[in-house]
Amino acid sequence: MRLSTRATPLSSACRESYEETSASAMFVFALVRGINRGWLDPRAFGPAVSLGWNAVTTRVNQKGQVEGTCVGTGMGWDPMFYMYRPVHVPAAHGYGPVFLAGAEMIALLRSQPDIAFHDGGVQFGKAPSH
């Protein structure tokens, strides 16, 4: 699984789609919750959640609004159904996943004393001694 430093388009085949924020935040939340509960290894998943969280935070504007969340949508059977859904800052269902992911990130940072930056990346766990 690869998380970029940007929110990703709905489909890699549809590069012209908008960048959806709430789903990215849900993935970050799920992964960081897994680390916090001891289900996932922070050394393996910590860097990915850090990158994912950094991507999500770029979608929170100066007013604290979450950008890039589509309006409420029913279920569609074709990717094109989602492709051109309008985005709307007041779409309340975008805020919850961002808050949940942020709360888990705070808990992660408080519980993992061995987080460091090395060679331009986030490292979890003690550095090996030589």
Which of 4, 19, 94, 10 shows the shortest CA–CA distance to 52?
Answer: 4
* Separation of alpha carbons 78 and 66, rounded Å: 26
pTM for the whole thing?
Answer: 0.76
Residue 118: its H or E element: strand 115-118
Q: State the pLDDT at residue 28.
A: 95
Strand partners of residue 122: 117
Classify residue 107 by burial, with Cβ atoms within 10 Å: 0-12, 13-18, 19+. middle
pLDDT band at 62 (very low <50, low <70, confident <90, very high): very high
The per-residue pLDDT for range 14-52, each reduced to its tens digit, is: 566 677 888 899 999 999 999 999 999 988 898 899 889
